[in-house]
Amino acid sequence: MSRAAAVSVILVIALVPGCGLPTHAIADRQADAWREAQARVRGSDGIAVSVDDLLADGLSAHDAVQIALHHSRTVPAILAQLGVDAAAWVTASRLRNPSLHADALFFGDGTEVEVGMLAPLLDSLQQPLREAQAEQELLAAEATATRAIVAVAFATRRAFVDLLVAGQRARLADEGATAAAAAATFAQQLAAAGNAAPEMLAQVLAAHADAELRAAEAADAILPRREVLQRQLGLFGPRTAWQTQGELPADPMAGIDLDAIETRAVQRSLELRVANARLAAAHQASAWTDRATLLPGSEVGISAMRESDGEAALGPALRLELPLFDGGGAARTGAAAATGLAAARLWQLGIDVRSAARLLRDRLRGAANRLQFAREVAVPAAQRATTATLQRYNAMQVGAFDVIAARQRELATSDRELTTLAEAWQLRLQLEELLAGALPELSPSAATGATSHPSTAGVHR
């Protein structure tokens, strides 16, 4: 074989095996992520009418999700981030460019020129592994983007439920304040007739003031919840004047399938898909790290030289890094550890997804049972107590204060029913989000079962 042929073989070995992932794959990834997210989220279909029309008719949960996904800039941002991530991995999958060097030395009798080109010796051998790793990382990035879009949809629904609950709670608090106002009016009339001791009047008026404060607090609590939803919807200016449509649906268990919840949650989990891809990528990374550390920094190429007397020569070039101080052992060990870490994370994530599925299912059932008890037992019992108190009032056994107090107890029970309904809906949304593939961030209350809603109706005598 001639020298020129030998050089050609070296160049082919160095450069030909592959050029990495194509650039147009980035747009495909973005489209795939968006399509899959839509398939996983109810109400993610396009907006048939204008956003203004949706807002004008009173905002429903479905409308809110549509606007959040199609109108706000959140989804484009997520897809752009996917593009950024994908581009990085496409880039990483490519062969490293060869380097060219040229030297010119000026002698009295002429000029000596040396030209050479070097390419990483093992890059072409590692490239398939790096491309495979990049492919997995791209899958992970795509799943991450899909999960982010799903999360946007459910964050919107949760914000919508929060807003409805705040409105309903404010109305209950208003009724409580009305009852307290009635007691205050009655007490003032009694006092005017000379029939109320100052201490009694003061207590009733204080209770009224307290109830008014509670009502104001409940009304103020609507505003931050409304703004959370405004941000989800991406609205500003005149478009922020929308009103919600209806109240919280009465049945949080309607149409939800709780069978085989763990299996379904695991099968649908986007986090697990990400973790799986990252584990595969770590495997690939570990493999090419093994290869890369055999001859670190080695490059091959060709070198051409022309002497000052005009004689020219062509030959192969080799640059070797001597592994005297770093033999690559640490890098290999690190890559292996990263693979172990990814595997452990995948395992733990599976545990977490299953745990969340069980917890949300059982807490939803518990909340639904409490809701049923509240509706079928507690609220009717409180209503019967009010009726019985009214009858005793009619029989002159008790006074108007007792009737008002019974009404306040009834309102307090209704408030507890509302709290339970809200809790059940939030749990259901978290469970639906989990089944849509996104492991929700479980709040401490969701994890422990604690509720933090204060009663707004109040009971005062």
Partner 1 sequence: MTTRRDLFRLGAAASLGASGLRTTAFPEHGLPPGRPHLDYQPVLTPNGVTLPFRIVDGVKVFHLIAEPVEHTFAPGLQGACWGYNGRVHGPTIEAVEGDRVRIWVTNKLPQSTTVHWHGLHVPSGMDGVGGLSQRPIEPGETFRYEFVLRQHGTFLYHSHHDEMVQMALGLMGLFVIHPRQPEEPPADVDYAYLLSEWHLEPGMRRPDPNEMADFNVLTMNGVAFPATAPMVARRGERVRIRIGNLSAMDHHPMHIHGHSFEVVATDGGPIQETARWPEATVLVPVGSTRTIEFVAENPGDWAFHCHMTHHVMTQMGHGIPNLVGLDATASDEAVAAAVPEFETMGEDGEPTIPPNSAPMAGGKGPAGMITMGGMVTVLKVRDTITTRDDPGWYVPPAGTTAAPATAAELERDGIRP
Binding site for partner 1 (CB under 8 A): 175, 178-179, 181-182, 184-186, 189-190, 192-196, 386-388, 390-404, 406-407
Nearest approach, Cβ of residue 166 and partner 1 (Å): 22
Report, in Å, the least distance between residue 71 CB and partner 1.
42
Separation of alpha carbons 118 and 331, rounded Å: 24
Of 387 and 451, which has the nearer Cβ to partner 1? 387
Q: How far apart are CA 27 and CA 425, in angstroms?
A: 37
| Cβ pair 360, 439 in contact under 8 A | no
The 8-class DSSP code of residue 96 comes to: P
Task: Tell me the closest approach of the beta carbon of residue 203 to partner 1, in angstroms.
Answer: 13
Instruction: Return the closest-CA partner of residue 73 out of 294, 236, 183.
Output: 236
Exposed / middle / buried, residue 325 (Cβ in 10 Å: 0-12, 13-18, 19+): exposed
* Nearer Cβ to partner 1 (48/193): 193
Q: Based on CB atoms, which residue is closest to partner 1, 149 or 177?
A: 177
Smallest distance, Å, CB 388 to partner 1?
Answer: 7
Nearest-approach distance from CB 181 to partner 1, in angstroms: 6
Pick between residue 146 and residue 408 the one whose CB is nearest to partner 1. Answer: 408
Determine how many CB atoms are found less than 10 A away from the CB of residue 309: 9
Specify the residue, 193 or 450, whose C-beta has the smaller distance to partner 1: 193
The CA distance from 195 to 458, in Å, is: 26
Please report how close the Cβ of residue 397 comes to partner 1 at its closest, in angstroms: 3
Q: Which residues contact 338 (CB under 8 A, 6 or more apart)?
A: 282, 285, 286
Q: How far is the CB of 189 from partner 1 (least distance, A)?
A: 4
Residue keyed to tokens 């593009």: 83
Tokens (6 digits) for 366: 């518990």
Name which of 176 and 301 has its Cβ closer to partner 1.
176
Residue 89 phi/psi, 5-degree rounding, is: -80, -30
> In this complex, which beta carbon is closest to partner 1, that of residue 50 or of residue 387?
387
Sign of the CA dihedral with 174 first, then 175, 180, and 185 last? positive
